Every structure is written in C-alpha cells, then in structure tokens.
Amino acid sequence: MKNILVTGGAGYIGSHTCIELLAAGYTPIVIDNLCNSSTISLDKVKQITGKKITFIEGDVRDAKFLDSVFKKFNIYGVIHFAGLKAVGESVEEPFMYYDNNIAGSICLFDAMNRNNVKRIIFSSSATVYGDPATVPIKEDFPVSATNPYGRSKLHIEEILQDIYVSDDQWNIGLLRYFNPVGAHKSGLIGEDPNGIPNNLMPYISGVAVGKYKELSVFGGNYPTPDGTGVRDYIHVVDLAKGHVKALQAFESSKVDNLYTVNLGTGIGYSVLEMVKAFSTASNKKIAYKIVARRSGDIACCYADPTLAKEMLGWQAQYGIQEMCDDTWRWQSGNPDGYKVNAEPHLMVEDVTV
C-alpha cells in the first residue's frame, strides 16, 4: 500500500480525491489546518468507503510539523491541495494569499526534499491562462495572472519547474483545473463554502434550496451565444479520478518527469445554460437577474483536454446534467453543508505527531 500525503484533504476536491485514492489501492494521509473545512468530510468518506482516513491537523507552513509527518509515515507521493482560493479575497488580502499559498508551498517542497519524497501533484488552475486569445485552451498557451490568487498558482508552478531543473529526480504533475462542480453520488460530501458563495454553482444551488432570493448573472453582453460567460465545468469526481491517473502516470513512459496538463471536459456552458440544467435537476425555478459584469471576469474559457487523454489516459465521464443532479442531491440533503451534521465525537483518527 502506497501512502499519499494529501494536503488540504478535508476540503472539497481533497475529500473526493481521498475516495478515489482508496478505490485505486492508495492510502491517503490527510493533513489540513481546517481553515476552510471540517473533519466531518472525512467521517463521510469513511461512511462511503468503509475505510478510516488518517487525519493530522496541521499547517503546511509548519516545517517541524511536516518533518514529523514525513518521519512517521513512509510517504510515496504528495497531492498538494492546501491553499486559499477566493479571487476577490486575494485582491483584498495579498499577504495572506502569498503567505498561505506560496510560502506554504515552499515550506512543503522543502520538507519533501529534506525527507527525500520527490513525487508531487499540484492543484493549479485555468486561471493561469488569463484571458486566452482563443479557445479551446491548450497547455502551451501563454500564461499570465490578474490577481494574487492567480499569481500564486503561477509562481508555484514556476517554483516547481525550478526545483526540477535543479534535481531531475523529482516527479512533478501540474494539473490545471477548469471549473470544478458537483458532488459525490452518495450526496454525503460536496462543496461547503464559507459565507455567501462567490462561485456560480454553489450560488445557483443556494437559490434552488431557498437560501438566496435570486442569482445575479454577471454580464449579459459578452461575445458568447447568449451573452453570458462560458466556462468548462468539470464534475469533481472526474477531477478526483484525474489525480489518481496523474500519480499513476509517473510509473508509465507516457509523461515526462515534469508535466503540465489541463483537466477539463472540453465543453463550455454559459451561465444561463447552467441555470436551465440546474432547474431541471432540482425541479425548481431559479430566479435570476442580469447585472453588470464582475470585474476581472473573462467571456469564455474551456479546455482542450486532448493531452490528458493521451498522457494520463483520463477523460471526463460526467456531463452537465449529472453535475447538476449530484450538486442538488448534496445541497438539498445538506442545506447547511456539514454544519448541521456535526457530531460531538469525530470518528477521524487523530494521530499525535
């Protein structure tokens, strides 16, 4: 059994990835400082898989903590999800973003190096493509950043590239996610944003469940078929499976020791198409109004996913209706996210290090 250190593994994408790692025979070891999650997600993973996840509360910026984890467990590789992800907040709080995302990543990579663990999958983002000149977006398109969050992703990619140049024993997969949505089929785990959601899908589902009155559609005059923004939404379970393929790829000859790959479906949907699909899934009317564009948004963004298929043997399986159906199952069953299900005694193993 290979132990995979999953940083930020109690979060949205991390918890779904733990399920797929277990299904593929890996053992996830989760570390998380719980700044945007709770261990209830890992209790639910246990309920879904029947397997207990080793969880250690801690911060990737804590070198001593990381050393103790690497010394205690024989780690085969790392999947690095831990980080902050709200674009608007990053503009307000650049120190916080650079400290958490960049300093945290450097601390982690340094600890990996010291402990001779040189295999990593990093959560990057389609945001590194800025406003692309054309779509679909290929991995060799120019990169840029317009906010501290995006810049942190770009810098971390560059830091990992420099690490590889200095030592080609490293195996590094840079995964550029498009727009993750959806939830596990069980309806037990899903996205649980703090406060009012910034992203489209949790906001639409919040309207459907009656938490918010109406959706503000940011911009109705983009150069897209219906005037609203177009994105490549990808089911979080597909994304999670992509991480397993990305790890396995290091053992094949199909990828270089350092590779960059898009994880998207290759299909773009507009905001209004998402509203319609969610309305069908939930059987609820989703009230919306078209308002001004949101600063920093682009008209259209979707992936060319060819490379992922060729290199990783990975392709998204789920379509827009499953993304909406599964989000609805999670949202309607857990209108307050994990909070309502909080139990006094967590079943997560708390390893003292």
- Residues near ligand UFG, by CB under 6 A: 85, 87, 125-127, 177-179, 198-200, 203, 215-218, 229, 231, 271, 294, 297
Q: Which is nearer to ligand NAD, 96 or 287 (CB)?
A: 96
Q: Which residues of 112-132 are buried (b: 16+ CB within 10 A; e: fewer)?
A: beeeebbbbbbbbbbbbbbeb
Q: Residue 240: which of 130, 123, 90 has the closest Cα?
A: 123
Contact indicator for 277, 320 with CB cutoff of 8 Å: yes
Query: Considering 12, 26, 97, 149, which one is annotated as catalytic?
Result: 149
Name which of ligand UFG, ligand NAD, none residue 59 binds, using a CB cut-off of 5 to 8 Å depending on partner kind.
ligand NAD
Name which of ligand UFG, ligand NAD, none residue 36 binds, using a CB cut-off of 5 to 8 Å depending on partner kind.
ligand NAD
Q: Which is nearer to ligand UFG, 186 or 216 (CB)?
A: 216
Name which of ligand NAD, ligand UFG, none residue 87 binds, using a CB cut-off of 5 to 8 Å depending on partner kind.
ligand UFG
Q: Which is nearer to ligand UFG, 224 or 257 (CB)?
A: 224
Which residue blocks in 2-72 are alpha helix, DSSP H?
A: 12-23, 40-49, 63-72
CA distance 129 to 125: 8
Residues 6+ apart with CB under 8 A from 146: 130, 131, 296
Contact indicator for 181, 238 with CB cutoff of 8 Å: no
Q: Which is nearer to ligand NAD, 123 or 262 (CB)?
A: 123
Q: Which is nearer to ligand UFG, 214 or 350 (CB)?
A: 214
Name which of ligand UFG, ligand NAD, none residue 13 binds, using a CB cut-off of 5 to 8 Å depending on partner kind.
ligand NAD
Q: Minimum Å distance from CB 90 to ligand NAD?
A: 10
What is the Cα 193 distance to its own chain's centre? 13
Q: Minimum Å distance from CB 26 to ligand UFG?
A: 25
Q: Minimum Å distance from CB 269 to ligand UFG?
A: 9
Q: Minimum Å distance from CB 153 to ligand UFG?
A: 7
Which residue blocks in the chain are alpha helix, DSSP H?
A: 12-23, 40-49, 63-72, 87-92, 94-97, 104-114, 148-166, 200-208, 236-249, 271-282, 306-307, 320-333
CA distance 324 to 307: 26
Q: Minimum Å distance from CB 320 to ligand UFG?
A: 14
Is 149 considered catalytic here?
Answer: yes
Name which of ligand NAD, ligand UFG, none residue 43 binds, using a CB cut-off of 5 to 8 Å depending on partner kind.
none
**SS3 assignment, position 345:** coil
Task: Tell me which residue has tokens 């920093």.
Answer: 296
Query: What does the block give as tokens for 90?
Result: 């990053």
Task: Tell me which residue has tokens 């079943």.
Answer: 347
Q: Minimum Å distance from CB 312 to ligand UFG?
A: 18
Contact indicator for 107, 160 with CB cutoff of 8 Å: no
Q: Which residues bind ligand NAD (CB under 6 A)?
A: 7-8, 10-14, 32-37, 59-61, 81-85, 100, 104, 123, 125, 177, 180
Residue 289: count other Cβ atoms within 10 Å of its Cβ.
Answer: 10
**SS3 assignment, position 295:** coil
Q: Minimum Å distance from CB 96 to ligand NAD?
A: 10
Q: Which is nearer to ligand NAD, 135 or 201 (CB)?
A: 201
Name which of ligand NAD, ligand UFG, none residue 297 binds, using a CB cut-off of 5 to 8 Å depending on partner kind.
ligand UFG
Name which of ligand UFG, ligand NAD, none residue 229 binds, using a CB cut-off of 5 to 8 Å depending on partner kind.
ligand UFG
Peptide bond into 136 cis (omega under 30): yes
DSSP 149-173: HHHHHHHHHHHHHHHHHH-TT-EEE
Q: Which is nearer to ligand UFG, 217 or 261 (CB)?
A: 217
Nearest residue to ligand NAD, by Cβ distance, number only? 11
* Residues known to be catalytic: 149
